[in-house]
Amino acid sequence: MSLTNNPNVLKWVDEMIALCKPEKVVWIDGSQEQLSALKKEAVETGEMIELNQEKLPGCLYHRTNPNDVARVEDRTFICTRRKEDAGPTNNWCDPKDMYAKLSKLYDGAMKGRTMYVIPYSMGPIGSPLAKVGVEVTDSIYVVLNMNIMTRMGADAFKNLGDESNDFVRGLHSKADVNPDERYIVQFPEDNTIWSINSAYGGNVLLGKKCFALRIASFQGKNEGWMAEHMLILGVKKPNGEVKYITAAFPSACGKTNLAMLIPPEGYKKDGYEVFTVGDDIAWMKPGKDGRLYAINPENGFFGVAPGTNSKSNFNALESTRKNTIFTNVAIDNSDNTVWWEGLTKNPPVDATEWKGAKVNGVDFKAEGGNLAHPNSRFTAPAENCPCISPEFNNPEGVPITAMIFGGRRASTTPLVYQSFDWTHGTYMGSAVSSETTAAATGAVGVLRHDPMAMKPFIGYNVGDYWAHWLEMGEKLGDKAPKIFNVNWFKKDEEGHFMWPGFGDNMRVLDWIIKRCEGEVDAVETPIGYLPKPEDINIQGLEDEVTPETMEKLLCVDKELWKKEIAEMRRYYDEDIAGKGGNIPSELYGVLDKIESNLNK
């Protein structure tokens, strides 16, 4: 039964069937019966492992091929008719050629398998900001993850209606999981995504990065809204007011952690609370009152497991205690539960490491092994999160007061500073650079430019994307959110993080909110407004963050910043403008101004 009469959907699904030649086609209605049957089948075939159902009810485990554990940026393409529309940050290929090449790979790729047709909504069903997608896949793992990450099932088709053609077509086949023929391809002009030869989340849960960022950023430019790699959180103040903040950090740089932070004792006592609206992606559009409103298009968290524990992120850990899928973590065989680096101090003795080998966990660690893959993940329903916002399902979204950029920077970038204005804030976003992490394949710990934490996700020319940011700022005028930059990762001479981070990041949010409300002054420096050291509340942290440490955290080292600016100019000139990116002159204006400030 096909769940819809929409001829555009039916025609496209027929084409995909003709191409992939599955043995059977199953339309996913989202019912409990259907999901239970799929879980049972996946456990029977060994695709998923059932975990301890008393300690982790509804939880399943999955292991991907060791060659397939992260996003593959070098095999990710934006295929627009004109190469210049994909721009200098994307791999490009002519859509005609790419369709032809991939059609050969998909031809018969689902022989002997079932094709699942998944209707889903990104955003609350019925929200004016929501959009519909359909993903066809030969993986039950994908179906079960999409059930957590999106609003999946027949209701999504109801929202699309019987005639609309406005849905994103996603084709996924794990095929042979052959890394040499792995492709993650977006065709923004056709609302189409083709992904093949992978089964790792970021490459195959097509609603997430492929749709909600790469395709949606392109749609947002054409339709006057923004799709960003941003968490959304609400800070409830003692007077009951809630201020909403978004923050863009590159992959594995702290979005999930900040989104779910637990305020320090002193703040709790004063009545502060933090609510999570989203931990990875924000879709934002000006509302009727002229302010910028954000929804989280997702319905769950695909979070980094290592490092998550009851102290670092209690709310994330709680979110994973039921109906969660764990991927590439370790199994504690003593009670069939999960373990990862940083969960507890001592690894389980009787463990199965992420590749599937039974090991003595203590010896294995002593020899320097990772029991869980550094990019192992949990897929947890948002409704499990103890601090989920009451506005999570609000179709209109939440009004944004401040936006934050950040990254992993061992030096140079201070703990926090504010942009002079929206244009400077856009520049700040364009200047994000961060040490690479295990979330994508390739070397870890290398400093690279990652504008707006969107380098792997901008679905068109980065120069036009920056111009779109400036246009949005103009449209929002004095109602635009204020823009800040943070760095939780500054290190001292011995290589230790100077800022305690996690819950204590509340202290920085506090300053940011006070700045937005005009309640606190700042120091004007060549690079932006910095806090006066006494305006960052360190009550209860005095031993850890001494006045000398705070001074280092808030220092603007002119010589380092001159180098930073020189590198930015090189980046703009060579990597962007020199390779077909049309940089708005306003951004060069900011660069000139900061440079001259530094030389004064």
Active-site annotation, residues: 253
- The one among 87, 220, 303, 406 contacting ligand GTP by CB under 6 A: 303
Q: Measured between alpha carbons, how far is residue 525 from residues 417, 536, 556 in Å?
A: 9, 17, 8
DSSP state letter for 82: S
Q: Does 249 interact with ligand GTP (rule: CB under 6 A)?
A: yes
Q: Does 39 interact with ligand SPV (rule: CB under 6 A)?
A: no
Beta carbon nearer to ligand SPV, 202 or 381: 202
List the single partner that 501 binds among Mn ion, ligand GTP, ligand SPV, none, CB under 5 to 8 Å by kind: ligand GTP
Beta carbon nearer to Mn ion, 280 or 504: 280
Positions that interact with Mn ion (CB under 5 A): 251, 280
Rounded distance, CA 405 to CA 426, Å?
A: 10
Q: Does 254 interact with ligand SPV (rule: CB under 6 A)?
A: no
Q: Does 541 interact with ligand GTP (rule: CB under 6 A)?
A: no
Rounded distance, CA 159 to CA 125, Å?
A: 7
CB atoms within 10 A of CB 468: 21
Rounded distance, CA 11 to CA 154, Å?
A: 18
Rounded distance, CA 452 to CA 474, Å?
A: 18
Beta carbon nearer to ligand GTP, 124 or 503: 503
State in angstroms the smallest separation of the CB of 213 from ligand SPV: 9
Rounded distance, CA 233 to CA 254, Å?
A: 13
CB atoms within 10 A of CB 153: 23
Candidate ranges 88-96, 200-208, 352-360, 505-513; the one touching ligand SPV (CB under 6 A): 200-208
Structure tokens, 292: 């910028």
* Cβ-closest position to Mn ion: 280
Structure tokens, 460: 């068109």
- The one among 4, 192, 251, 257 contacting ligand SPV by CB under 6 A: 251
Rounded distance, CA 189 to CA 246, Å?
A: 28
State in angstroms the smallest separation of the CB of 63 from Mn ion: 21
Residues forming beta bridges with residue 231, ordered by sequence position: 247
Candidate ranges 42-50, 114-122, 201-209, 262-270; the one touching ligand SPV (CB under 6 A): 201-209
Structure tokens, 309: 């524990």
Q: Is 354 helix (H, G, I), strand (E, B) or coil?
A: coil
Q: What angle do CA 342, 344, 345 make, to 5 degrees?
A: 90
Q: Which of residues 79-118 bind ligand SPV (CB under 6 A)?
A: none
- The one among 68, 85, 135, 280 contacting ligand SPV by CB under 6 A: 280
Beta carbon nearer to Mn ion, 95 or 406: 406
Q: Does 202 interact with ligand SPV (rule: CB under 6 A)?
A: yes
List the single partner that 209 binds among ligand SPV, Mn ion, ligand GTP, none, CB under 5 to 8 Å by kind: ligand SPV
Q: Which of 315, 373, 382, 299 is nearest to 339 (CA)?
A: 373
State in angstroms the smallest separation of the CB of 104 from ligand SPV: 27
Question: Can you say whether the dihedral through the CA atoms of 462, 463, 469, 472 is positive or negative?
Answer: negative
CB 281 within 8 A of CB 208: yes
State in angstroms the smallest separation of the CB of 127 from ligand SPV: 22
- Per CB under 6 A, residues contacting ligand GTP are 249, 251-257, 279-280, 303-304, 306-307, 312, 439, 488-489, 497, 501-502, 505
- Per CB under 6 A, residues contacting ligand SPV are 71, 201-202, 208-209, 251, 280, 302, 439
